[in-house]
Chains A and B, each alone.
Chain A
Amino acid sequence: MLTLFTIISVLVAAELSLLRIIRNLSKTARQFGKGNFDIRVPVPKHHGELSELALEFNSMAEALLQRHNELLKAHDRLKTLSRHLQNAREEEARRIARELHDGIGQILTIIKIDLATLQKKCLTCKETSKASAIETEIIKIKESIDEAIKFVRRISSELRPAVLDRLGFPSALEWQTREFEIRTSISTQLEIKNIKESIDEDISTALFRVTQEALTNVIRHANASEVHISLICNENDFSLSIRDNGKGIANSPPYGINTSGIIGMEERVRLLNGQFSILGEHQKGTTIRIQIPKRKPHRSYDAYTTL
């Protein structure tokens, strides 16, 4: 009788410890699933298969943690690379814009001056009929040069407007808004508040490009008659909003197939640790809001500067 009791109690105790091990295991698995990647199960001794299971679990956890860290690193590298590409592209655009404008543009103006001198010489020429024929040609060439200069100006300004680099973002925004209004006859209100300091270059670029894309979208998709833009300098960040009264964007991503406009805006803002939102109200309009903190994020892409 006693032995039977002993046997039963030993069995029950064994059963209980098994239960505890299994409970432990499942609790740990749950914790792990919630993102606590450092957690491990204690490996029970003398439990054969259960011990093995615990060991397996721990080694799986180890592998997953490693994978997770690799992913984080890869993500960081991608972000860094993306920021670098963004900067490099902008820098390239600025360089080409400047070279076109200040290089080719100015050479064309010099040719015009030379032609003017030539034209004067025609006036003192003896063979008047020949001279006037030459003069007509010169005038034609001057007109072609003017066309070429217009072209250079347009491409240069589309690549990267000098107003932004020379006069700063608030002036550029004012100009961009009025040009938009003149070009489209969409009535546009602009409100700029509290801007006293000069705005960091990367932030200026982001604000300018976002506005540019937003206004392009208004022309292409919104069917709006009014746009309201506001730029406010808060204590710690800049906030910019662009609101139209058009048909309103559908309210969930993806917003377009194979399009890069909205994704690009979001990316630019995110790379500066900012916030981006786009909100559509059916037949009432679309509002884009962004906020960019004033301090620049830590520049950590030095490793890529040789790319």
Chain B
Amino acid sequence: MHILLSDDHVLFRAGLIRILKEKFLNASFEEVSTCPELFKKIQEKEWDLLILDISMRGQNSLNLLPDIKKIRPKLPIIVLSMYEERPFVIRALREGALAYLTKERASDELFRAIDAVWSGRRYLPENIATQIADHLALKKPERPHETLSPREYEIFLLLSQAQSVSQIAEKLGLSPKTVSTHRIRILEKMGLRSNHELMHYAVTHSLSQPPL
């Protein structure tokens, strides 16, 4: 079994190999500490696992991932980095890493991550999963006109075409009083004060077509 460790921190690499060796008695390990070295090793032969740090001597190893994937599409990659910020995780997963672990979790979770990627599964620890969940849970803010009911939106569009309340009433077969009530409700919901502002809103949001 060949495991490639890519990290510019010598002591960290040494610590990692110590715990890995206890578990994988027959494994052979190789170490690299820069992006060019990493790429050379990848080209040299097939590996069973790549454990990859992001920041290596000032370079960002994630930039190499597309090329690595091209040469070794099946190589399981675990990113093991100090960075905890979501954009790094997303970028790493997009570029083909199967697991993302922050370094302080290595001692407790690296074996779990390795088990996962060797059986073709992804692995994210709880701290990373929480971050991504927070991100996904954000509601997309509704724009004011998206809060209108379908009927209100219909009336909104007619008003924005400078049609009067009585014209609209006639067209929709409603009483002018009902249309007028709708109009007030629409302005309220959208935080607008006049038909003039409403028209302006429709123009700036290019809302001349009925919604699909």
Contact = CB atoms under 8 A, between A and B. Distances in A.
A binds B: yes
Contact of B88 (A102, A166, A174, A226): A166
Nearest to A157: B85
Interface in A150-208: 153, 157, 161-163, 166-167, 171-172, 174-175, 178, 181-182, 187-189
B162 interface: no
B134 A182 contact: yes
Contacts of B11: 106-107, 110
A102 B55 CA distance: 9
Interface in A133-155: 145-146, 149, 153
B85 A175 contact: yes
A137 B85 CA distance: 30
Contact of A167 (B18, B91, B103): B91
Given A181-B138, A187-B141, A171 B87 contact: yes
B107 A112 contact: yes
Contacts of B12: 106, 109-110, 113
Interface string A63-105: 0000000000000000000000000000000000000011001
A116 B104 CA distance: 11
B110 to A, nearest CB: 9
Nearest to B131: A182
A108 interface: yes
A114 interface: yes
B112 interface: no
B10 to A, nearest CB: 10
A102 B82 contact: yes
B55 A166 contact: yes
A233 interface: no
Contacts of A109: 12, 82, 103-104, 106
Interface of A is mostly: helix
Q: How large is the interface on B (under 10, 10 to 19, 20 to 34, 35 or more residues)?
A: 20 to 34
Contacts of A3: none
A115 interface: yes
Interface string B127-168: 000000011001101000000000000000000000000000
A175 B18 contact: no
Nearest to A172: B87
A167 B88 contact: yes
B85 A113 contact: no
A129 interface: no
B104 A146 contact: yes
B118 interface: no
B184 interface: no
B196 interface: no
A145 to B, nearest CB: 7
B90 to A, nearest CB: 9
Interface centre among B83, B87, B106 (most CB of A within 10 A): B87
A117 interface: yes
A251 B62 CA distance: 46
B83 A226 contact: no
A112 B107 CA distance: 7
B107 A115 contact: yes
Contacts of B108: 116
Interface of A: 101-102, 105-110, 112-117, 120, 145-146, 149, 153, 157, 161-163, 166-167, 171-172, 174-175, 178, 181-182, 187-189, 226
18 contacts: A102-B9, A102-B82, A106-B82, A108-B104, A109-B104, A113-B12, A113-B107, A115-B107, A117-B18, A149-B104, A162-B55, A163-B87, A167-B87, A167-B91, A171-B91, A172-B87, A178-B135, A187-B139
Interface of B: 9, 11-12, 15-16, 18-19, 22, 54-55, 60, 62, 82-88, 91, 103-104, 106-108, 134-135, 138-139, 141
7 smallest A-B Cβ distances: which pairs?
A116-B107, A187-B141, A113-B15, A109-B103, A113-B107, A109-B104, A171-B87
Given A172-B87, A187-B139, 9 more contacts: A102-B9, A102-B82, A109-B12, A109-B103, A153-B82, A162-B55, A167-B88, A175-B87, A187-B141
